[in-house]
Amino acid sequence: MEPKVWRELGLKDEEYTRIETILKREPSPTELAMFSVEWSEHCGYPRSRKWLKLFPQTGKYETLVGEDAGGFVYDGLAIIFKMESHNHPSQVEPKQGAATGVGGIIRDIFTSGARPIALFDSLRFGRLNTPLNKYIFNGVIDGIQFYGNCVGVPTVGGEIYFDDAYAGNCLVNVMCLGVAPREKIARAYAKGPGNPIIYAGSKTGRDGIGGCSILASTVFEAAEIEKRPTVQVGDPFTEKCLIEATLESLATGVVVGVKDMGAAGLTCSSSEMAAAGGVGIDLDLDKIPLREAGMEPWEIMMSESQERMLLCVEKGKEDKVLKIFHKWGLDAVIVGEVIKDKKMLIKSKGKVICDAPTEELAKAPIYDMKFTKSEIRSSKFEVKGKNPNEKLLNLLSDPNIASKKWVYEQYDHMVQTNTAVLPGGDAAVLRVRGKNWGIAATTDCNGRYCQQDPYIGAQIAVAEAARNLVVTGAEPAAVTDCLNFGNPEKPDRFFQFKSCVEGIVDACKFFELPVVSGNVSFYNESPQGPILPTPTIGMVGIIKDIERRCTAPFKDNGDLIVLLGGNKEAEMPELDLDVELRVQKTCLEAIRAGIVRSAHDLSEGGLAVALAECAILSGKGAVMNISSNPPLNAGDHYLLFAETQSRIIMTISPDKIFSLSDVAMLYEVPCAIIGKVGGRSLVIMKNKKRLVNLPVNRLQKVYFSALPGLLKGK
């Protein structure tokens, strides 16, 4: 076999030698293809797995750390969630790349036995100043709304950032959340020699071949457009049928294990199910339903055609499962059986084309990567504008802060009718049918912070995600992550990854948050350079009384505006985990006690932007006088726009001030009355000088029109 063969599949020379050692012979083309996808960075995590073991997996509630997704248990229900990336496919084919990212993460949830109830999208693009960047942005949004709306799972939250660092490599991170009775959770393994293996769902085609190895596990070169054939094609209507058929099959009690065919397709699902169960699988490729004629065995095993499942079923009871999938109009056929020998035994046209040990195939080698501290770029805190009014308007028109309504109004966020807090706030809130409690969820990460200081930046992502939940009245419960970085073979890139992981680990341990699932996406760079290090955090929490959920908009004229936390002048945002936790506990306890009317965390753009957002979303003005409050003793520029962490804006009725003060004193948190809701303008004064004085309707116009204006070229 010529070296170019395995190199084109993404394998290194030493990896090929290792495969020969495992097999004690030269691999067949099918075996080589299977090892190449299973050992790819996207599937096997050979360069990251060592560090992922550091994540805490226990927290306040019983945790479920599964094969395809994880979660926690509350009130007898398993809340299952996971986030994954579909970055490279979305860069070369935006609509289908994003659509199949949605489809793939939904399958991870319902193969766990949970019904998907919500989707979240954390997206990064180049600035909207070129036709290509606009094309990618529009295509990704189109793909998300196309698949999510058709499949019937509401897209209720997420985030979008724009930066030149993402121009050659966008990020499409998708999180899905589902619920199931604790005892109904399914496993992704095969067990019981003689038990049949069932293929169910769509037919297999040539789309997506090499998606996980050739596309996702290498950096982009100039001719990235040539990688379009490695992008999968999605069918959300088939996926809807697959959801119902799979959950109905699991309800029969005869399914031993189930796994979706995502990255690496049939190779991944079969070999990993076998390895997880400590068994082998005998597979007959002649029985695989094919969409295209003349497919080679290695193509069948590598294909990443969408909407496909693999099930291990109790022997003699397979007809129950087959009938269910056929009822839903889906292909379903027995393609093999469980064997005692721990190997993948695959036949095609009567010949054995693969005889490989499952454990070695399913577990990629672990590499110790070199890392060198990357140079931290100094950050000059600067907001453009001649005066505070102009600076605030410029910030509100920045697409990283401006309203994303143009995006989320394309999503069906009310299907299933569980959405209690709509998109556009700090976090989404979902009802749970038959329960008086609810679920809050969010995604968060600021790549610029992580570029400046990977360790602190990653901790800020965890802290802010938790703060986003707390201001709705939710107690943070568990975390998933999607770790997006450049080429891990470059020591400075790997240092960023390592430091971000360490930051997440320490923050999650401090907050007692288990990391129950996640994804690593390396090689996110192009000829233009690497992306910003972006360890996206997905976090889920519990609102113990859904009727006391809180939102960001101001509520009533005359309400007092209170700032929890203080101000601090610093070029780079800093984080004190102890202060952060005390601020969050104060806010959460006050909301649960019925003291708080509205709450909104401070993040990008600082105090002025947070106040403006509360005014914009409510249509109500406010007057602030911040001259006499020691926590705000800073220069005007920092006072208004500094992105100091661990701060929350709340409004309360005047008669609740002593109740709030008692809670704040208990946790030793600065608590200052800074203003009152009322009027038609946002006014911020210091020492009787008006720093900001802007009509709310003008703020609204700037905030809501910025993104549509950029897309139109205005």
DSSP three-state, residue 538: strand
Supply the pLDDT for residue 602.
Answer: 96
Look at phi and psi of residue 416 and say left if phi exceeds 0, alpha if psi is from -120 to 50, else beta. left
- Cα torsion at 208, 209, 213, 216 (round to 10°)? -20
In this structure, what DSSP letter does residue 521 have?
E
Q: Between the CA of residue 59 and those of 72, 74, 477, 509, 511, what are the distances in Å?
A: 9, 12, 7, 8, 9
CATH number for the domain whose boundaries are 560-711: 3.90.650.10
Task: Decide if 3-38+186-362 and 49-182+406-548 have a common fold.
Answer: no
Among 173, 145, 8, 202, smallest CA distance to 524 is for: 173
Q: What is the DSSP secondary-structure string of 274-326?
A: HHHHT-EEEEEGGGS-BSSTT--HHHHHH---SSEEEEEE-TT-HHHHHHHHH
The span from the CA of 586 to the CA of 410, in Å, is 36
- The answer, as to whether pTM is greater than 0.85, is yes
Identify the residue with better confidence: 375 or 681: 681
The span from the CA of 348 to the CA of 30, in Å, is 10
Mean predicted confidence (pLDDT) in 69-81: 96
Residue 495, token pair as written in the block:
């240092």
Helix ranges (DSSP H) in 168-231: none
Instruction: Indicate the burial class of 226 (C-beta count within 10 angstroms; 0-12, 13-18, 19 or more).
Output: exposed
Quickly name the fold that domain 49-182+406-548 has.
60s Ribosomal Protein L30; Chain: A; (3.30.1330)
Identified catalytic residue from 86, 88, 413, 600: 86
Look at phi and psi of residue 345 and say left if phi exceeds 0, alpha if psi is from -120 to 50, else beta. beta
Residue 117, token pair as written in the block:
């109830």
pLDDT band at 555; cut points 50, 70, 90: very high
Q: What is the DSSP secondary-structure string of 43-94?
A: HH-TTTHHHHTTS----SS-EEE-SS-EEEEETTEEEEEEEEE-HHHHHHSH
DSSP three-state, residue 525: strand
Among 192, 346, 391, smallest CA distance to 278 is for: 192
Among 448, 435, 420, 487, smallest CA distance to 604 is for: 448
**Is the per-residue pLDDT at 300 higher than 90?**
yes
**Is the per-residue pLDDT at 629 higher than 60?**
no
Q: Between the CA of residue 321 and those of 134, 180, 252, what are the distances in Å?
A: 45, 20, 8
User: Tokens 């109904």 correspond to what residue?
Assistant: 184
pLDDT, one tens digit per residue, over 256-274 is 999 999 888 999 999 999 9
**Is the per-residue pLDDT at 548 higher than 70?**
yes
The span from the CA of 314 to the CA of 196, in Å, is 7
Helix (H) or strand (E) holding 694: strand 689-695
Among positive and negative, which fits the CA dihedral 415, 416, 420, 421?
Answer: negative
**Is the per-residue pLDDT at 424 higher than 50?**
yes
Among 214, 95, 83, 104, smallest CA distance to 143 is for: 95
Specify whether 86 is catalytic: yes
**Is the per-residue pLDDT at 330 higher than 90?**
yes
Specify whether 413 is catalytic: no
Supply the pLDDT for residue 630.
Answer: 47
Contacts of 306 (CB under 8 A, 6+ apart): 100, 103, 104, 202, 207, 208, 232, 233, 234, 235, 238, 239
Supply the pLDDT for residue 711.
Answer: 94
* Domain 3-38+186-362 bears CATH identifier 3.30.200.20: no
Contacts 24+ apart (CB under 8 A), 237-241: 237/150, 237/151, 238/201, 238/202, 238/306, 238/307, 238/330, 239/103, 239/106, 239/107, 239/147, 239/151, 239/306, 239/307, 240/150, 240/151, 240/152, 241/328, 241/329, 241/330
The span from the CA of 105 to the CA of 538, in Å, is 13
**Around 466, how many Cα atoms within 13 Å sit in the side-chain half-sphere?**
31
Look at phi and psi of residue 350 and say left if phi exceeds 0, alpha if psi is from -120 to 50, else beta. left
DSSP three-state, residue 127: coil
Backbone angles phi, psi at 268, to 5 degrees: -65, -50
Identify the residue with better confidence: 572 or 614: 614
Supply the pLDDT for residue 378.
Answer: 54
Residue 304, token pair as written in the block:
């990443």
- Percent over 90 (pLDDT), the chain: 85
Identify the residue with better confidence: 688 or 436: 436
Supply the pLDDT for residue 627.
Answer: 65
With b for 16 or more beta-carbon neighbours within 10 A and e for fewer, the 598-633 pattern comes to bbbbbbbbbbbbbbbbbbbbbebbbbbbbeebebbe
User: Tokens 């320490």 correspond to what residue?
Assistant: 506
Supply the pLDDT for residue 290.
Answer: 95
Mean predicted confidence (pLDDT) in 105-129: 97
Supply the pLDDT for residue 569.
Answer: 63
The span from the CA of 461 to the CA of 81, in Å, is 18
Supply the pLDDT for residue 628.
Answer: 47
Rg (CA), the chain: 26
Mean predicted confidence (pLDDT) in 183-205: 96
Distance of CA 25 to the CA centre of its chain: 41
**Is the per-residue pLDDT at 708 higher than 60?**
yes
Supply the pLDDT for residue 221.
Answer: 66
Identified catalytic residue from 42, 88, 413, 600: 42
Q: Where are the domains of the chain?
A: 3-38+186-362, 49-182+406-548, 560-711
Contacts of 709 (CB under 8 A, 6+ apart): none
pLDDT, one tens digit per residue, over 201-245 is 999 998 878 656 566 567 766 555 555 555 778 899 999 999 999
Mean predicted confidence (pLDDT) in 59-70: 90
